[in-house]
Amino acid sequence: MSDYDSSEELAKKTIDDINDVLNSTYDGVPVRERFGNYSNQFNERPLLNNLRMMADLHPHDNFPASVYRQPRMQSETGNSSNSMYVEDDFGLDRYDMDRYQNGYAIILNFEHFQDPSRFRTRTGTQADVDRLIKVFKKLNIKINNIHQDLTKNQMEQKLRQFRSMKYDLSNSNALIVVILSHGLEGDNIMATDSAFHLHDIIRMFNTEELPEMAGRPKIFIIQACRGNQVDRGTQLNHYNDHVDADEDDLHPNYADFCIAMSSHHGHKSFRNEQTGSWFIQAFCDILETIDLENNHLLDILTATKRKVAARTSKSGKLETNNKKQISSCYMTLTKKFYFKKN
């Protein structure tokens, strides 16, 4: 008998053994859950060893992580530990989407500023707000509030209030913060009176400050520039494009965060006075047209980058005319996040 025939015979026998036990022990429990329950509770070593051998022989089959878990071993300190080379059980590569709301969001829109000689009115930003409202409604993302032209202290107060909405947050698959404003160098973004540091806003929603959202995505959508550089382009496609000036690179150490930004480090972002910003409008276009069932958040943001990159500015000013833009994102997400369809 060949090695292949032996492995096939072993596989069939093992599967029969598993079915006998699972059918009698876990009647009514989904099959995908039975493997983990059986191996965790019974830990029948011969059966598990056979399963591991099957997994090695058939690496493309979907065996649960518990199959690969090695026997508990004593460490040098006397503490027992598990040695594993597959960490996730079935389904754990995705964030839990069982809650009613896809997300719980707050929108901070800054259009007018106390020093208009330095920070021009952000004409066209209301088009971004209107579009976000429309798209979020389609995606069953509940908007806590839309705040307009807050001072720095007012904004911090509203964010603390948003963070305190425990019931709505606990019933949401994700937390979403949208900030639309001018920005400065060094991770600073403008309120109407002064700048705030983006890190300070992110820190308000880490696991220590908001344990209710531990293990769930915290998504930040930032429309603002990231410096004064511009990319050259070759086509004149869009008119009345203006520039928002923004912040530097960001490296948070917190898990389950996604910070999506309208431009690359050191570069400007464009906003059309009639139709809104390139980034927010592209992001909404993708959310409305992409197959949400088969594309997770990183896919959505990648498609957004591609759409933004396809545009070219025409602003009437030499320094911002005929230029390009690319959005960017920084993620510490530990799983794939899919927006659930209504």
Q: Which residues are catalytic?
A: 182, 225
Residue 189: in which H helix or E strand, if any? strand 188-190
Contact between 332 and 255 (Cβ < 8 Å): yes
Task: Judge whether 260 and 221 are in contact, CB under 8 Å.
Answer: yes
Give first-to-last CA distance, the chain, whole Å.
55
Total residue length of the chain: 342
Beta-strand pair 141-148/231-232: unpaired
Which residue bears the tokens 């490296």?
251
Residue 282 has which token pair? 């592209």
CA distance 216 to 255: 9
- For residue 322 the two structure tokens come to 């005929």
CA angle 246, 218, 84 (to 5 degrees): 125
Question: Token pair for residue 135?
Answer: 């798209």
Residue whose C-alpha is closest to residue 269's, from 251, 288, 242, 289: 242
